[in-house]
Amino acid sequence: MKVMLVDDSKTMRTIQRNILLQLGYKDIEEACDGQDALSKVGAFGPELLLVDWNMPNMDGITFVKTYRAQGGKSPIVMVTTEAEKTRVVEAIKAGVNNYLVKPFTPDSLSQRINETLSRAKAA
């Protein structure tokens, strides 16, 4: 399973990477913002993406809309500090499949990933 982490914070990417490694996901690519992610998705071909919202250059919502417009079909979990209901609705409308608010525990990240992959498999 190829997983792409899109977050401008290296600390947050490292925390997520360590959790994913513990869960058995070993093929991980990182991107520091939406633009960086768009430049890498073609070659890497992620099967799951964890995407932050607030990032410089290109934010997470713009990335998700662009990725979907370009035909990207892999499930996306937004992992963000944006916790308001209006933001969650905006993210889902943009093409996000699941949502996790920071701060999070390793268990909650694992749960969101499992939910997302199960739903994608069933669809």
Partner 1 sequence: MDASQITSFVASTHQVFTTMLSLTVTAGKPYTCCTVPKFENEVSGIIGMSGDMQGMVVLSFPTATARNVIRSFTGMDMEPTSPDFADAVGELVNMISGAAKAKFEGKNVSISCPSVVIGKGHKVQQPSDAVCITIPFECAGGPFSVEVAIKNAKVAAKAA
Using the minimum distance from each CB to partner 1, give the nearer residue, 71 or 103.
103
Residue 54 interacts with partner 1 (CB under 8 A): yes or no: yes
Token pair 């070659």 in the structure block, residue:
43
Residue 15 found at the interface with partner 1 (CB under 8 A): yes
DSSP state letter for 70? T
Please give the size of the binding site for partner 1, defined by CB under 8 A. 22
Note whether 77 binds partner 1 by CB under 8 A: no
- The answer to whether 76 and 97 have CB atoms below 8 angstroms apart is yes
- In angstroms, the CA 66 to CA 60 distance is 10
* Chain residues in the site for partner 1 (CB under 8 A): 8-12, 14-15, 18, 54-56, 80-84, 86, 101-105
